[in-house]
Amino acid sequence: MQSPVQIHFKNMEPSEAVEAAINKWVAKLDRAYPTIMTCRVCVEAPSRKKLHGGLYHTRIDIRLPGKEVVANRTPDLHHSYSDAYVSIRDAFRSAQRQLENVVKRSQEKVKSHEIPAHGWIVTLFPENDSGTIESSDDRKIYFHRNSLLTGNFDDLTVGMEVRFVEHEDSEELRASSVRLIGKHHIA
């Protein structure tokens, strides 16, 4: 971190134990996200004027290059925020999730799926519960009844269009899964 963490206490006296807990969380975030420039933490104790709902409130402001992350854990009566450490823990966990999302978006890590291979059934051997598929690149791929994911093997006919995944550990060309293609499919 480029500057030391700023810790503020509201409605309470500063506590070395609470500061140590906050510094531990900040160090964890700093190791995971070295681009953090500044971090401000404000821990607010319950107001002395309230009779009920004495819950702690923690706010964390983290500045990154070109971004700011704010974790503002508002006390919820269903949480055990009557303990300052629980409020701090939850606020830092929220900040960590937000930082993970910022990093994923900045690196544009979007999960992509490969489109399975495409082909047509060219032969069926009902006595062996198997058949062959001719792939779009003119390869012959063997498949078994058990590899059929959609439809019924007994209802298959030559010429049906399928998508398939090749079995990687096989010496021969085999399909580990075969899915019939309906009229609504990706070309």
DSSP-assigned states of every residue in 151-178: S-GGG--TT-EEEEEE-TT-SS-BEEEE
One domain, residues 90 and 150: no
Domain range for 34: 6-107
Question: Span 2-12, mean pLDDT?
Answer: 90
Rg value, the chain, Cα: 29
* Total structural domains within the chain: 2
* CB neighbour burial string for 108-124, b if at least 16 within 10 angstroms, e if fewer: eeeeeeeebbbbebeeb
Question: Span 80-89, mean pLDDT?
Answer: 83
Alpha-carbon dihedral of residues 32, 72, 38, 3, nearest 10 degrees?
Answer: -100
Question: What is the tens place of the pLDDT at every residue in 141-181?
Answer: 999 999 999 888 999 999 999 999 887 776 788 988 999 98
One domain, residues 146 and 166: yes
Question: Span 71-96, mean pLDDT?
Answer: 80
Question: Span 126-136, mean pLDDT?
Answer: 93
* Whole-number Cα distances in Å, 160 to 67, 117, 153, 180: 53, 14, 12, 7
Listed residue (14, 86, 94) closest to 56, CA to CA: 86
One domain, residues 93 and 58: yes
One domain, residues 25 and 100: yes
Instruction: Report the distance separating Cα 28 and Cα 81, nearest Å.
Output: 22
Name the least confident of 11-15, 97-101, 113-117.
113-117
Q: Can you give the pLDDT at residue 178?
A: 92
* Whole-number Cα distances in Å, 154 to 38, 82, 131, 148, 169: 66, 65, 11, 11, 27
Q: Are 10 and 43 in contact (CB under 8 A)?
A: yes
pLDDT above 50 for 187: no
One domain, residues 91 and 162: no
One domain, residues 98 and 133: no
